[in-house]
Structure 1
């Protein structure tokens, strides 16, 4: 089995671009399931004990009902479990250093090969009584439950399930109940080294889909609309047996009308526009693959007749956006809060006369992931609660921001250089996952003709 999984990872990480689609290889569903389960097993065996001990949590109880799953529970189910079954209760008990974490399923079934079933209804028909029996036998000092006023991700225990547990739990154990908010958040936001290797492939796939859509194969200037491209992305993602976790956005920015220009729309983010030569296109797109998400914004320029590259002023505008990325990521440091990073980055941008807006967030199991928020579009100076959470190593972030740039060449049009890329905070600093956009995509692509 280990050899089989190793071969799967080699297949996943060492594929080359196909000439037909220019996309990385995508695994069949059966092989995806094997990879996802291997990643989860590694997380449970290696990551979970460290997280529980860091929080001083010797027991973590997660309760999920079918089709109303706790967000954390969904990340702990085998790939072939598309939902919890009836009521699924997961119990983790830290047995101490060197002994590992005991993983039990207080449910009718084993949870795959990950958690052993610990409830026989024939012996004890009441599931709650069996859970309480297991808790009493282990006598934990802290019992973590998933309730939180700050993070929806860590607030998956419903009131009915909480009330039932409290009804059966003896007073002695009730005193041990605490919120597992920080444990749940860190479980969701922390990536293992193997997951980060896989994330490279996932991010490359998302970049490739964007490039394919922003090409002459999809866009015919003067005919194709932004709405056409949005739906092309949806269809393309579905055809690859992937998911879009939000509907893509495609919009244009173009020069303000000058004297004598027709009065067509020149709005910054129109609902639907015909794409024209000279337009600056923007896309916001996210895919889900192998249980992880991407969230990427990139820019493309539609060449005018006779042009071989984008105008220098647009290339400089993109460089301003790249500089803002550098400013933001230079402020990342484990232990700082999201609000601290935001404040420092905005102050530096102001010194450099960059008109900045920053709204970055963790990403992983969820597109807008658990962890420290670094600004929001409607809370540009800081986010109460989630912005006060500290940064952790091995958390992936969507570095999402924009820089406003005035273009005299576009009749003093103010454009927004909207960028978003995945990056991970490591002990050695911030590393972009599969790189970032430093050159505008061109429509059509540059072509080199050989002299005969």
Structure 2
């Protein structure tokens, strides 16, 4: 499927890496595309998404018209994801209309705005003929007479709640009464659009995760950390600078935490990293509009040590076992709460002390779709009543708490997060998962 997609569009491509269950501790940095080539690839992927996902989800949900609108700098999350690579925001007021004529015909893609979008939508408004933009939308609706008109409003899902009250009022004021009665929520359409991954996206995702892994491997090493001198904040800001040097962005400020024998909780900020510390990082980048989210652990060797204490290595192994239990519970058609309960029940039965809080990832770091637990709620949540679907990307995020005998039985937090793909049958990691601690040598 990927080969066919690439042959059809032939966009410039970054290095294509296979999905892997095995992670390299300190991988080499993949080549990163120049900005012009990134833009070409972004637009090729957007066209692929519009051509394939829109018809599928509109027919799946029985919607024959979907209307999206955004004002400049106040974009609906869905509209923002449909802007071409050279459109950094909506222009003035951008209104997009998708219409399914039925009988297997192509979906119409219209833009009711002053500006087109890279040839991906057909311009369908002439302000000289009709100055009122919403009246032009009303005319498009009347000419096509759709049975259901989806707009983005939702009480629960931010990704499906992009229609503002003022724009809703303006639209409804111009519609004939019979069309007002056909308005329905585009909540599920929004989630389906954002959560679904295309063959090209899946082809490039392992390489994007590899970039994140390479930065983490460098950060959690003696290249950056000198025990007794380097602080947690020093490492955080090095990661930010490194991402900037590469011409990429982080979608949240990196975290560095320190667990230390005899100290409660996570130390951070201006705390100096010392031999014997267990370090944790949470780090995510954005590249080619796709996001990563990774949590790794590192141990700072004491003088004379060549590996971490057995209790710390056992804690990481326990976390990997809980990860297996969690991903084994993924089942298409079950909602996030059902998956959470099944995984927790099995993990507890095996004697683990877990907290599970995995989430979709893709065009947003905390992506559209169901959630499998929240760090502050392991009892089920209304936001997790949406069902798990195939062809979605995930951050497999969780922790286990384990006592470390070498630290006098102190309970440590062994957090893990790796990005993966659910194909409807099983979960496969894009670039493996951490099975070995990063090791940082002490100063001689």
Compute the displacement of 1:314 (Å): 1.5
Does 1:56 pair with 2:62?
Answer: yes
- 2:361–2:367 Cα contact (<8 Å) kept: yes
Find the aligned partners of 2:296 and 2:161 in 1 and give their Cα distance: 33
Work out which of the residue numbers 377, 382, 392 in structure 2 matches 1:379. Answer: 377
Where does residue 132 of structure 1 map in the other structure? 138
Find the aligned partners of 2:30 and 2:157 in 1 and give their Cα distance: 35
**Kindly tell me: are residues 4 and 387 of structure 1, through their superposed partners in 2, closer, same or farther at Cα, counting changes over 3 Å?**
closer
Does 1:394 pair with 2:391?
Answer: yes
Work out which of the residue numbers 195, 201, 219 in structure 1 matches 2:225. Answer: 219
Work out which of the residue numbers 130, 143, 154 in structure 1 matches 2:160. Answer: 154
- 2:65–2:149 Cα contact (<8 Å) kept: yes
Does 1:293 pair with 2:297?
Answer: no
Where does residue 411 of structure 1 map in the other structure? 408
Find the aligned partners of 2:85 and 2:121 in 1 and give their Cα distance: 14
Where does residue 189 of structure 2 map in the other structure? 183
5+ residue gaps, structure 2, are: 1-5, 19-25
Where does residue 358 of structure 1 map in the other structure? 356
Does 1:166 pair with 2:172?
Answer: yes
Aligned-CA RMSD value: 1.7
For residues 350-409 of structure 1, give each alpha carbon's deviation from its aligned partner in whole angstroms, at most 9, with x where no partner exists.
Answer: 10010010111111111111110111111121112x110000111111111000001121
Find the aligned partners of 2:89 and 2:108 in 1 and give their Cα distance: 23
Find the aligned partners of 1:5 and 1:410 in 2 and give their Cα distance: 57
- 1:291–1:365 Cα contact (<8 Å) kept: yes
- 2:11–2:40 Cα contact (<8 Å) kept: no
Where does residue 86 of structure 1 map in the other structure? 92
Where does residue 437 of structure 1 map in the other structure? 434
Aligned partner of residue 8 in structure 1, secondary structure? coil
Aligned partner of residue 12 in structure 2, secondary structure? helix
- 1:374–1:383 Cα contact (<8 Å) kept: no
- 1:5–1:35 Cα contact (<8 Å) kept: no
Find the aligned partners of 2:17 and 2:436 in 1 and give their Cα distance: 26
Where does residue 448 of structure 1 map in the other structure? none
Compute the displacement of 1:21 (Å): 9.5
Compute the displacement of 1:209 (Å): 0.7
Find the aligned partners of 1:361 and 1:353 in 2 and give their Cα distance: 24
Work out which of the residue numbers 333, 336, 340 in structure 2 matches 1:335. Answer: 333
Q: Which range is displaced more, 214-223 or 310-319?
A: 310-319
Aligned counterparts, 1:18-29, within 5 A:
22-29=28-35
Work out which of the residue numbers 56, 66, 75 in structure 1 matches 2:72. Answer: 66
For residues 250-279 of structure 1, give each alpha carbon's deviation from its aligned partner in whole angstroms, at most 9, with x where no partner exists.
Answer: 0111222xxxxxxxxx23212332111111
Where does residue 259 of structure 1 map in the other structure? none
Work out which of the residue numbers 13, 16, 21 in structure 2 matches 1:13. Answer: 16
For residues 215-270 of structure 1, give each alpha carbon's deviation from its aligned partner in whole angstroms, at most 9, with x where no partner exists.
Answer: 100000011011110111111111111111111110111222xxxxxxxxx23212
Find the aligned partners of 1:381 and 1:207 in 2 and give their Cα distance: 32
Work out which of the residue numbers 213, 220, 231 in structure 2 matches 1:207. Answer: 213
Find the aligned partners of 2:199 and 2:156 in 1 and give their Cα distance: 28
Compute the displacement of 1:53 (Å): 0.5
- 2:27–2:217 Cα contact (<8 Å) kept: no
Compute the displacement of 1:13 (Å): 1.9
Aligned partner of residue 57 in structure 1, secondary structure? coil
State the TM-score, normalized to the length of structure 2. 0.94
For residues 129-161 of structure 1, give each alpha carbon's deviation from its aligned partner in whole angstroms, at most 9, with x where no partner exists.
Answer: 111111111110110000001111110111100
5+ residue gaps, structure 1, are: 257-265, 446-452
Aligned counterparts, 1:234-383, within 5 A:
234-256=240-262, 266-272=263-269, 273-383=271-381
Find the aligned partners of 1:217 and 1:174 in 2 and give their Cα distance: 62
Aligned counterparts, 1:87-126, within 5 A:
87-126=93-132
Aligned partner of residue 409 in structure 1, secondary structure? helix
- 1:362–1:397 Cα contact (<8 Å) kept: yes
Paired residues in the alignment total 429
State the TM-score, normalized to the length of structure 1. 0.92
Work out which of the residue numbers 40, 44, 65 in structure 2 matches 1:38. Answer: 44
- 1:64–1:89 Cα contact (<8 Å) kept: yes
Flag the structure with more relative contact order, 1 or 2, with Cα contacts below 8 A and sequence separation at least 6.
2
Find the aligned partners of 2:15 and 2:276 in 1 and give their Cα distance: 39
Aligned partner of residue 134 in structure 1, secondary structure? helix
Find the aligned partners of 1:140 and 1:208 in 2 and give their Cα distance: 50
